[in-house]
Amino acid sequence: MSLLLLVLLVACALGTITAQHRARKSFVELEAEQVAAKKLEEEFTQLQLEQSTWSTHKRVEAVASKQLGMKAPDAASTMIVSPEAKAP
Amino acid sequence: MKFEKRAPQLRLKLEGWRSRVVLGLATLGFLVLAGRAVYLQGMNQQFLQAKGEARYGRVVEMPASRGPVLDRNGQMLALSTPVESICVTPDDWEADDAAVKRLAAALGMDAGEIRQKIANKDRQFVFLKRQIAPEQAAKVMALHVPGVFLQREYRRFYPAGEVMAHVVGFTGIDDNGQEGIELAQQKRLAGVAGSRKVIKDRKGNIVEDVASLRVPRDGEAVTLAIDQRLQFLAHRELRNAVAANGARAGSIVILDAKTGEVMALVNMPDYNPNNRANVTGKQTRNRSVTDLFEPGSTLKPFTVAAALDSGLVKPDTLIQTAPGSMAIGGWTISDSHPFGVLSVAQVIQKSSNVGTAKIQLSMTAERMGTLYRELGFGAVPATGFPGEAKGLLRPWTQWRPIEQATMSYGHGISVSLLQVARAYTVFTNEGQLLPLALLKREARPIGKPLFTKDTTREIVRMMEMAVSPGGTAPRAAVPGYRVGGKTGTAHKAEAGGYAEHKYVSSFVGFAPVSNPRFIVAVMIDEPSGTKYYGGDIGAPVFSTVMGAALRMMSVPPDAPGIPGAPGTINAQARDTRGEG
């Protein structure tokens, strides 16, 4: 009887150790993923920064006018479409 | 088996005391062990557990990032991104000359400079170079110099650069706001770093979370009321205007006429917040908020509105302004051009000082004094900008008659451009003064009623006349839109009186008159050319900025059909054309 209990006890002990080990392994993986997520987040802010730097109005205007030879339409060549449905 | 068959030696009969001694020693040994166990487990337990934990337990810092600043459309105006700082613990430092040279090359520093920084052995920790790009940091670390390590920091970037500089401000190297929104919203923007207790294995991996000591909180995002497109537009026009007039400085404020939100706020001279190496206070000062000037004639509409409201005059009441000057208590006030008999409406249109003074003197000083107070002069506008100026408004009880007269046309009082712009919200809101907002507003605020609707309508009509041919500022007109506004020109006050040839030219106006959308206030400080009137300097800037702003926001024109104005197409008419 007591021999059986001893076997059971050892089995349980080994089970606990394996479980603990597995938990730790998973935890290390989780940590690694979190670090990766943080890295991606940082990359995202850097990309956002880059995007907003490239898309400043100053730069867009300079490219449009100097490289592409564009200009803003003056008032006289602007048509404003009014949403109100009034027959002429 | 039988005892007798054992070896003869074992058959020896031992004396009883010897086995008792051994037993006693063994027992004593066990007692000592048990005692020690009790001592360690019981009495010394805490100390030992702490020591054990120090072997495998670590407290890990969890940095929090500073929140971004966004414009009303979500465009990034200020953003924190991680950078590395190269640090050294002088105690661990080990590098021969060749290593120092390699390090210097990787850091872009002088070898002597590095040695000098390390030389002070008393210090536990030295920054070799702060805030460099992660790629460069990786190169430095690849040299494997003992004692050199990285520390992660966050650096603030301002993509919009000088366009937004005065509004957004900047942070110091330790990520604390020093100017503008960065300073004003420091509490919200700054995050709170956290820390947690973990168990590390021998490879340095975190294997278990023990406890979270402090949960980190990232800084909140702050959304401004500013529209970056309008801001850029205002910045460009102001820069051109200041350069064209050889002016010392200038400011433009654009307000949403219905909500009191600050849509744009620019100042010249400006600076680049990303590179503040040689920046002076002259450049960083947010002039439209902190600097005071005499607003001059831009205050006339308030005087006339007060008189209309009290029923003392009607828009067509005639006032004799000839000969263009007037003596009050030994002082003389005069008009720049003499006029004859003017109606009240023409007093505004032609901007007559004498006329305004006469209207004012028919009222009590108290009426004017309280009105100016209620309009927010002499009190901070409470937008949350750091360093907001209160302005100078002496209590009306101390006014002399000449002061009462000059104050009616904006002299002897000093205000910031933001205060004047705000005061004009009464004309775009049926007589109600709006509170200003620097951050985006969700709903229209409740204004403080100061004038009746009828009075406001009359004043707006007069201000529209001022912008028409025959007024002081025809150059403020915007093709296609009805515009109302008022010029201002004032001598600069200097120690001991007014400076002879130094002026501040301003223009404050709104459009479209039928349903105002924007208030634009322009101030040009010390134009150096021969022209200095608000109608010549401020008005054209107003016209360009207002016109472009209205078109940018697709505000339908309320005065179409004028040559040079945008045309209109009716949506339905176009649809039917498309079908046919």
Q: Give the homologous superfamily in CATH for domain B61-108+122-223.
A: Penicillin-binding protein 2a (Domain 2) (3.90.1310.10)
Beta strands in B42-186 (DSSP E): 57-62, 69-70, 76-88, 126-132, 148-157
The answer, for A82 touching chain B at a CB cutoff of 8 Å, is yes
pLDDT band at residue B267 using 50, 70 and 90 as cut-offs = very high
Q: What is the DSSP string of B532-580?
A: --HHHHHHHHHHHHHHHHHHHTTPPPSSTTSTTSPEEEEHHHHHHHHH-
Q: Do B208 and A24 touch (CB under 8 A)?
A: yes
User: Which residues, in sequence order, are CB contacts of B544 under 8 Å at separation 6+?
Assistant: B237
Residues in B touching A80 (Cβ below 8 Å): 554, 556-557, 566-569
The answer, for A19 touching chain B at a CB cutoff of 8 Å, is no
| The predicted structure's pLDDT at residue A43 | 86
Residue range A48-61: average pLDDT? Answer: 84
User: Which residues, in sequence order, are CB contacts of A34 under 8 Å at separation 6+?
Assistant: none
Residue range B58-86: average pLDDT? Answer: 84
**In chain B, what are the domain boundaries?**
61-108+122-223, 228-277+284-553
User: Which residues, in sequence order, are CB contacts of B4 under 8 Å at separation 6+?
Assistant: B11
Of A24, A52, A80, the CB nearest to B554: A80
Q: Do B159 and A52 touch (CB under 8 A)?
A: yes
The upper half-sphere exposure of residue B407, i.e. CA atoms within 13 Å in the direction of its Cβ, equals 29
Structural contact between residues B418 and B383, judged by C-beta atoms closer than 8 angstroms: yes
* CA gap B174, B153 in Å, rounded: 9
To the nearest whole Å, the CA of B479 is away from the closest chain A CA by: 7
User: Which residues, in sequence order, are CB contacts of B574 under 8 Å at separation 6+?
Assistant: A81
Q: Which of A52, A59, A77, A79 to mutate to test the interface with B (most CBs of B within 10 A)?
A: A52
Residues in B touching A57 (Cβ below 8 Å): 163, 228-229, 232
Of A23, A48, A56, the CB nearest to B79: A48
Residue range B415-430: average pLDDT? Answer: 91
- Model confidence pLDDT, tens digit, residues B208-244: 777 777 888 888 888 999 999 899 999 999 999 989 8
| The predicted structure's pLDDT at residue A87 | 43
- Model confidence pLDDT, tens digit, residues A42-53: 888 888 888 888
The residue among A25 and B578 whose pLDDT is bigger is A25
Which residue of B lies nearest to A50 if distances are taken between CA atoms?
B159
Q: Do B568 and A78 touch (CB under 8 A)?
A: no
To the nearest whole Å, the CA of B566 is away from the closest chain A CA by: 5
* CA gap B403, B512 in Å, rounded: 35
- Model confidence pLDDT, tens digit, residues B355-375: 888 888 888 888 888 888 888
Q: Is B177 helix (H, G, I), strand (E, B) or coil?
A: strand
* CA gap B436, B262 in Å, rounded: 7
Structural contact between residues A28 and B206, judged by C-beta atoms closer than 8 angstroms: yes
Structural contact between residues B508 and B485, judged by C-beta atoms closer than 8 angstroms: yes
Structural contact between residues B250 and B237, judged by C-beta atoms closer than 8 angstroms: no
Does the pLDDT value for residue B149 go beyond 60?
A: yes
The answer, for B131 touching chain A at a CB cutoff of 8 Å, is no
Of B157, B207, B564, the CB nearest to A27: B207
Q: Do A76 and B569 touch (CB under 8 A)?
A: no
The answer, for B566 touching chain A at a CB cutoff of 8 Å, is yes
Residues in B touching A81 (Cβ below 8 Å): 568-571, 574
Q: How far is CA B105 from CA A21, B98, B150, in A?
A: 46, 11, 17
Structural contact between residues B566 and A79, judged by C-beta atoms closer than 8 angstroms: yes
Does the pLDDT value for residue B546 go beyond 80?
A: yes
Q: Do A82 and B571 touch (CB under 8 A)?
A: yes
Which residue of B lies nearest to A87 if distances are taken between CA atoms?
B573
Q: For residues A49-68, b (16+ Cβ closer than 10 Å) or e, as one string?
A: beebbeebbeeebeeeeeee
Question: Which of B80, B58, B102, B95 is closest to B154 using CA atoms?
Answer: B80
Residues in A touching B565 (Cβ below 8 Å): 75-76
Which token pair is B385?
A: 């900008």
* CA gap B559, B453 in Å, rounded: 22
| The predicted structure's pLDDT at residue B560 | 64
Q: Do A75 and B76 touch (CB under 8 A)?
A: no
| The predicted structure's pLDDT at residue A28 | 85
Residue B173: how many CB atoms within 10 A of its CB? 12
| The predicted structure's pLDDT at residue B113 | 77
| The predicted structure's pLDDT at residue A83 | 66
The answer, for A27 touching chain B at a CB cutoff of 8 Å, is yes
The answer, for B208 touching chain A at a CB cutoff of 8 Å, is yes
* CA gap B349, B61 in Å, rounded: 66
Lowest mean pLDDT among B1-10, B43-52, B195-204: B1-10
Question: What amino acid occupies position B532?
Answer: Y
Q: Do A79 and B568 touch (CB under 8 A)?
A: yes
Which residue of A lies nearest to B555 if distances are taken between CA atoms?
A80
| The predicted structure's pLDDT at residue B574 | 44
pLDDT band at residue A59 using 50, 70 and 90 as cut-offs = confident
* CA gap B70, B89 in Å, rounded: 39
Of B81, B556, B569, the CB nearest to A46: B81
User: What is the third-level CATH fold of B228-277+284-553?
Assistant: Beta-lactamase (3.40.710)
| The predicted structure's pLDDT at residue B424 | 92
Range 476-505 of B in CB contact (< 8 A) with A: 479-480
Q: For residues B252-264, b (16+ Cβ closer than 10 Å) or e, as one string?
A: bbbbbbbbbbbbb
The answer, for A31 touching chain B at a CB cutoff of 8 Å, is yes
ipTM: 0.73
User: Which residues, in sequence order, are CB contacts of B432 under 8 Å at separation 6+?
Assistant: B425, B426, B447, B448, B449, B450
Residues in A touching B79 (Cβ below 8 Å): 45, 48-49, 52
* CA gap B485, B344 in Å, rounded: 16
The answer, for A69 touching chain B at a CB cutoff of 8 Å, is no
- Output the average pLDDT for chain A: 84
Interface A:B, Cβ pairs < 8 A:
99
Q: Which helix (H) or strand (E) holds A70?
A: none
pLDDT band at residue B11 using 50, 70 and 90 as cut-offs = low
| The predicted structure's pLDDT at residue B563 | 52
* CA gap B140, B148 in Å, rounded: 9
To the nearest whole Å, the CA of A21 is away from the closest chain B CA by: 9
- Model confidence pLDDT, tens digit, residues B74-85: 888 888 888 888
Q: Do B567 and A79 touch (CB under 8 A)?
A: yes
Residues in A touching B80 (Cβ below 8 Å): 45
| The predicted structure's pLDDT at residue B497 | 66
Of A28, A83, A85, the CB nearest to B207: A28
User: Which residues, in sequence order, are CB contacts of B348 under 8 Å at separation 6+?
Assistant: B300, B301, B304, B459, B462, B463, B465, B466, B486
pLDDT band at residue B328 using 50, 70 and 90 as cut-offs = confident
Residue range B443-453: average pLDDT? Answer: 86
pLDDT band at residue B29 using 50, 70 and 90 as cut-offs = very high
Does the pLDDT value for residue B569 go beyond 50?
A: yes
Residues in A touching B580 (Cβ below 8 Å): none
Range 40-59 of A in CB contact (< 8 A) with B: 42, 45-46, 48-49, 51-53, 56-58
Residue range B526-551: average pLDDT? Answer: 84
Q: Do A79 and B547 touch (CB under 8 A)?
A: no
- Model confidence pLDDT, tens digit, residues B469-525: 888 888 888 888 889 999 888 877 666 666 667 888 899 999 898 889 999 999 998
Q: What is the pTM of this model?
A: 0.79
Q: Is B490 helix (H, G, I), strand (E, B) or coil?
A: strand
Q: Do A81 and B564 touch (CB under 8 A)?
A: no
Residues in A touching B544 (Cβ below 8 Å): none
* CA gap B301, B425 in Å, rounded: 12
Does the pLDDT value for residue B411 go beyond 90?
A: no
Of B160, B229, B564, the CB nearest to A76: B564
Residues of B recognised as catalytic: 297
| Maximum CA extent, chain B | 154
Q: For residues B61-82, b (16+ Cβ closer than 10 Å) or e, as one string?
A: ebebbbbbbbbbeebbbbbbbb
